[in-house]
Amino acid sequence: MCSNVEVSYDGHVAVVKMNRSPSNAFNQEFVDEFNEVVAQLADNGEARVVVITSSVSRFFATGADIKLIFGMDVKKVLSGLTKMFNAIQHMPKPVIAMIKGHALGGGCELSLACDFRFMEKGPATIGLPEVNLGIISAAGGTQRMSRLLGRGKATELLFEGRQIGAQEALEIGLIHKCFESEDLEAKTLEYAHQLSKQAPIAIRLIKKCLNDGMDDKIEKGLEVEREALFAALQTEDAKEGVRSYLEKRHPIFKGR
C-alpha cells in the first residue's frame, strides 16, 4: 500500500485517500505515488467511478510543499503534477473530488481536473491563492478555472487570490454540490454508486467528446460526437439500454 495515497473499493467505486500529514502538500514522492495510482485505476475495469478525497484532518490538499519549494526541483514536480491532473481529466470514467477541508493551490487544481466537485459546508475553503505568494498556479489552474467559470470570474479569483467557502463556490459553479460535513461521504458515495450503474462505454465516450471537443472548433466537436455515437451503437450496453427502455425496466450494463 502506498504511504501517501491509499485506495479502497466499495463495489464498482474506487476511493482514493490522500494521506500525507499535515496538509497533503505535494512533493515528488507524493506525486509519483499518485501518478502510479491514477494509471492503475484508468486500466481497472472493475472501478467504474473514482472518488478522490483526504484522510488528513482539515485539508483536502494544499498544493506544492511551500516549505520545500525553493529546495525542490520545481520543474520536475510541476511536470509530475501536470501529468497527474491531465491523467485524471482524461481518465475514461467519472472522477469525483470529495472535498473535506481546504482545497488550495494544487489542491484546487486537482479538484478542477475531476468531473465533479462535492464539498463540505463549514470553515473549509477552495481557491488559487498563489498570487498572494508572488507566484501563480501553473499546473492547469488558470486554464481549467477560466474554462469552467468563464474569464471574468476566473480573473477575479486569480487576481485576488481569494479563498471562498462552499456556498459561494456552489453559487458561481466552482463546485457541483455542498453538504453538511457529516453527510458529505454518504452523499458522495451514493452519487458515485448511481453513476457506476450507467453504461461504462457510453460514459467513456461522453467524456472523450467533452475533453476532445471543448477546446476546438464546433465542427471538430461535432465530428468527435458523431464518431463516439457510432462506436456506442456497436456495444451490447447500447442494445441493453434500448431494450430495457422498451421493456420499462432498469438496464443492467456490463461494459461490453
Cβ–Cβ contacts within 10 Å for residue 170, how many? 18
Q: Is 134 exposed, middle or buried (0-12, 13-18, 19+ CB in 10 A)?
A: exposed
Q: Could you give the 3-state DSSP secondary structure of residue 190?
A: helix
Nearest to 85 by CA among 200, 187, 211, 216: 211
Catalytic-role residue among 6, 33, 46, 130 = 130
With a CB cutoff of 8 Å and minimum separation 6, the contacts of 51 are 13, 14, 15, 16, 95, 96, 98, 188, 189, 192
6 given a catalytic annotation: no
Catalytic-role residue among 109, 120, 168, 247 = 109
**Contact criterion met (CB below 8 Å) for 24 and 59:** yes
236 given a catalytic annotation: no
Active site residues: 109, 130
